Copies of this chain bind each other. A is one copy, B any other.
Amino acid sequence: MKIIRTTPAMADWSRRLHREGVTIGFVPTMGALHEGHRALIRAARLACDAVVVSIFVNPTQFGPTEDLSNYPRQLRLDQALCRKEGVDAIFAPTVKTMYPVGAQTVVTVPGIARRWEGEARPHHFQGVATVVTKLLSLVQPDKTWFGQKDYQQAALVQQLVKDLNLPGHPIIHPTVREADGLALSSRNVYLSSSERQAAPVLSRALQAGIAAIRAGERNAARIQRHMLRVAATEPLATVEYLAVCDPVTLEPLSQLNRQAVLLGAMRIGRVRLLDNMLTSFRRKP
């Protein structure tokens, strides 16, 4: 397994493989790899000839008061996981090679970035859109895997790739969960043991929304009330949003029609957790 540290070396690696007709699967990550990432790597491994995983804690997607300096970093463990999964190359660039002096170009996807995480974390999605554009242009993957857990990010990347004609053909892979429903996230390590016990309330709330839809509810406000009722049962949880949205535009729906994504964000103590569930259905129940 090759460890690539600079952008020219990354470009060379891809060019060489493409010249030989090898297809490249790409899994961009911020490291601290868990079973969710492993699922993405396995999907890439199955679909493409070669797999590259990027590990880069991108500073431009963190706000000034966020956890950039404390974000979990464990390159040794991440390398071991990648090697075990048959990854061909890890791209682990320095901040300097990704953002050299004078770098200034910014990519924005204003419609999809406006709400939800975009409101909670100004500039976050601008950082995401910019680094994803850089990575896809550099790696030139045939397919790229994103976890559904960060649904707004995944939807934004799909719009971005379409709008800018970028390579990479993004694929959204279903969220991997703990047995009690908690969506896997590198930030789960921040949870104390009582917080960890409280945390599955987020997926239970979303699940209540899905159950209401399955039972025939099509009114978004009432679906939201089902979710909020479940959230209220957990004293450690503070809801940031529990929303019923269009899966492409992420605009809130009032009446459901064919498909929806339920988006949720909660604080459990000082830890901010995200989750979401997608559903599609006939218009009339």
Contact = CB atoms under 8 A, between A and B. Distances in A.
Interface of A: 7, 11, 100, 102-112, 129-130, 133-134, 137-138, 159-160, 162-167, 248-249
Contact of A105 (B11, B107, B134, B248): B107
A104 B7 contact: no
Given A134-B163, A134-B164, A137-B164, A106 B102 contact: no
A112 B104 CA distance: 9
A165 B11 contact: yes
A102 B11 CA distance: 31
Contacts of A163: 103-105, 134
Contacts of A160: 105
Contacts of A102: 111, 159, 248-249
A29 B194 CA distance: 62
25 contacts: A7-B165, A11-B165, A102-B111, A102-B248, A102-B249, A103-B162, A103-B163, A104-B109, A104-B110, A104-B111, A104-B112, A104-B159, A104-B163, A105-B108, A105-B129, A106-B107, A106-B108, A106-B109, A107-B133, A107-B164, A134-B164, A137-B137, A137-B164, A137-B165, A137-B167
Given A102-B111, A105-B163, 14 more contacts: A100-B162, A102-B249, A103-B163, A104-B110, A105-B107, A105-B129, A106-B109, A107-B107, A133-B164, A134-B163, A134-B164, A134-B165, A137-B164, A138-B165
With a 10 A CB-CB cut-off, give which of A103, A134, A137, A138 has the most chain B CB atoms.
A137
Query: Taking each of A102, A105, A159, A160, which has the highest tally of chain B beta carbons within 10 Å of its own beta carbon?
Result: A105
A248 B100 CA distance: 14
Residue among A106, A109, A111, A163 with max Cβ neighbours from chain B (10 Å): A163
Nearest to A7: B165
Contacts of A103: 162-163
B111 A164 contact: no
A147 to B, nearest CB: 21
A143 B161 CA distance: 22
Nearest to A100: B162
Contacts of A162: 100, 103
Contacts of A249: 102
A208 B11 CA distance: 45
Contacts of A134: 163-165
**A112, A159, A166, A248 interface centre (most CB from chain B within 10 Å):** A166
